[in-house]
Chain A
């Protein structure tokens, strides 16, 4: 009785061991065969929006590119943890404050290239080109055209008015565009106004606090709420799919000689301090600031190209039809952390 049991067990033990060894060896294969070639891109810009540009670059130069996408802030944190060991060559972010923050942490390196100086206005890059803006986006009020008259909102600050209670959708506290937008409001209107604004929109939004701009646009389009604050391209992306949606960007806010202007931000790129492939990284930047690269990069997301000679997508309102808030983009980086504290003190989610 005992013998056959033992035989079974032993067979089983052998096959277990074999299975285990197989699995372990499989485990080690990818562990040590991670290729060390080509350009490595850390991108805070969604894969869908960056991959076609990188594919075009690869086709043009033959340099293979690998990309890791994530939240810009999380990628900066990762760069910092990785230090000298980081495989990243360039860091692409959708928000200048993050780039400036990475710059201040010495995670980016200065770049001297005539092409950059010629293509990108100096307001949209770090003085030493540690980061270079690539496309502009505005942080704007989106309204439901059947529920709201454009003249009901003169300033983005009006959204704090109790009349919009339960009718406003806002991004959550971790949203980089919210942080940057509030930084601009803070820089131009002071702390008290900013806190009043945040308290107001928090009360008005109630549970309409969204992790994604796209969800805000959708809520406005479906009439769940009347107003929202988003980056402009989410509105046009929605209109692309649903041309009949009753939504529009409100470009008349904060205009006129006394208005602070519409909040503008930029996406941008920087070469990392410990980049293993600096030459290839420079070629990527060279491509991205070229007219062809600018057009491709901006149009994919319906943004405004920063190169003065490159036209924006035809569906976008003329860039000259509104004026934008004048805050040095580098100031946004400085304000990032204090603003986060303010946002949290107010108790925004």
Chain B
């Protein structure tokens, strides 16, 4: 069932108070952005001139080409994997469903430092390449465009996979049958019925991946690939004056907002609802043994490169570190700090995100949409810049919070709320407003309708949102580096401190711990999205 308008009657007091709340939240999130933008716009024209002639064109080119390549790569990987795992039934397919999502547990900078070792001169992959191709040949260097694109793609494709998978699972087979009965071939059914229906989910996943690339600091800095975020960090740690960093940040924010707005426009022009009454899930086809072999090989290669190989290396390094007595009980403290910060932020993100996402889906007035876009701006405000803006704002306005972990939670929230919002919005969009309207017509109040009807329907999606935020926080680096209280180290900080000295063995235990802590959460994500419908 396709409907072109999702707005319906929400009582004005309820929606107005929600609007007010979301306006407040969006305001808080936009504040650092405003600070950065003001600094940038008040900058001396000489600073702008220097940036335009020396840095900006290169940075634009590098950032766009990396984001574009990673987008294509994640789309191919994510959709193909989701397709195989939802449409086919083969030995081990239930296991693969959650194995394939495990790369999400690996921080980009960990994958980057592992690949700088693997692909580096004399590294295992380089040696293998020489053995295969010849003595004089070298595999591509990790410190190139190809290296950065490979690492980022392997790191982000599960975003697209998760969303594509849940779209495939929620796909009603009746549509396919109708298409087939009316004479469409299997191929044209795929392109004309299947793809359009799952497009909103795909675009959401892609956007997530692109924004991830644009705002990533860890991987590109280790691989020395110049994107906006890395250049901004270099400006900030190398100069006493943040004007140039602010200018670059403003450009980056504008650049990323183009994607967000574009996606929103795209989604507006193609919105679909599926009726729940006649819902029948697509039945997976049973595979021949050849098909099973090929699919398993494909899965093995991808999971091997993105997860198994890196984790095996980390385990090996960790063993060495333990054998050499480098590990101490201090690690328990680091684990606790990481879980504490990430858990608090994720919960806060759900509470704060609900009114924003709800209003944007059900009452997309200009003001409500503006609030939502405002909240999205946090994702593209580079971690270090958001941190510094917060440092100034909080030390001026609420000095009592200065030097506490609260400031870190706020920085995380600003940065990662959008990841959660994206998932929450998608979940809300899948709820047919007619169901809510029915409850309202039967006399339920708005709050009660939301609690009794909407919330249970979006529970899986919201849990997914919690998990996305949690994992991103566990991995966060630049803002933690700048804002952590003295003596408050997280696992990510430990990885970074040791890895930036190329002490692989010492960086391995905390890296492995981040992964271990993230894995159950990641598995939960697949379980929940699996049982969603």
Interface, chain A (partner B; CB < 8 A): 5-6, 9, 13, 19-20, 23-24, 26-27, 30-32, 34-35, 40, 46-48, 66-71, 73-74, 76-78, 81-83, 85, 87-88, 101, 172-176, 179, 207, 209-212, 214-215, 222, 224, 336-337, 340-341, 344-345, 347, 349
Binds A, one of B5-13, B150-158, B396-404: B396-404
Pair A347/B55 contact, Cβ less than 8 Å: yes
6 extra A-B contacts, CB within 8 A, seeds A30-B404, A34-B487, A349-B226: A19-B347, A26-B340, A34-B488, A74-B481, A81-B388, A173-B234
Contact assessment for A85 and B403 in the assembled complex, using a CB-CB cutoff below 8 Å: yes
Confirm or deny: B54 has a beta carbon within 8 angstroms of a beta carbon on chain A.
Answer: yes
Residue B501 contacts which of A46, A82, A101, A209 (CB distance < 8 angstroms)? A46
A337→B234 contact, CB < 8 A: no
Is A340 touching B344 in the complex (CB atoms < 8 A)? no
* Contacting residues, chain B, for A212 (C-beta < 8 A): 500, 502
Instruction: Report yes or no: A66 in contact with B240, Cβ–Cβ below 8 A.
Output: no
Q: Which residues of B contact A47 (CB under 8 A)?
A: 497
Q: How many residues of B contact A (CB 8 A)?
A: 54
* Partner pick for A74 among B237, B485, B500, CB 8 A cutoff: B237
When chains A and B are docked, how far (Å) is the Cα of A31 from the Cα of B50?
Answer: 42
Q: Does A27 lie within 8 Å of B344, measured CB to CB?
A: yes
Q: Is the CB of B240 within 8 A of A34?
A: no
A215 to B226: give the CA distance in the assembly, Å: 17
Q: Which residues of B contact A (CB under 8 A)?
A: 50, 54-55, 121-122, 143-144, 221, 224, 226, 234-242, 244, 337, 340, 343-344, 347, 351, 388, 391-392, 395, 399, 401-406, 409, 451-452, 455-456, 481-482, 484-488, 497, 500-503
CB distance A40 to B54 under 8 Å?
no
Q: Are A87 and B486 in contact (CB under 8 A)?
A: yes
Q: Which residue of B lies closest to A105 (CB)?
A: B240
Q: Is the CB of A101 within 8 A of B221?
A: no
Q: Which DSSP category, helix, strand, loop or mixed, fits chain B's interface? A: helix
Q: Which of B122, B226, B240, B399 has the most CB of A within 10 A?
A: B240
Give the residues in chain A near B55, CB-CB below 8 Å.
Answer: 347
Chain A binding surface, main DSSP class: helix
Query: Once the chains bind, are B404 and A337 in contact (CB under 8 Å)?
Result: no
Cβ-closest chain A residue relative to B494:
A47
Q: Which residues of A contact B503 (CB under 8 A)?
A: 48
- Interchain CB contact under 8 A, A174 and B238: yes
Q: How far is the CB of B433 from chain A (nearest CB, A)?
A: 20
In whole angstroms, what is the CA distance A179 to B238 when docked?
A: 9
Give every chain A residue within 8 A of B234 (Cβ-Cβ): 172-174, 349
Most chain A Cβ neighbours within 10 Å, of B235, B340, B487: B487
Who on chain A is nearest to B351 by CB?
Answer: A20
- Report the bound CA distance from A85 to B501 in whole Å: 31
B399–A85 touching, CB < 8 Å: yes
The closest CB in chain A to the CB of B502 belongs to: A214
Question: How far is A73 from B245 in the complex, measured between Cα atoms in Å?
Answer: 14
State the CA gap A34–B337 with chains docked (Å): 13
Q: Select which of B221, B340, B402, B405 is within 8 A of A85 by beta carbon.
A: B402
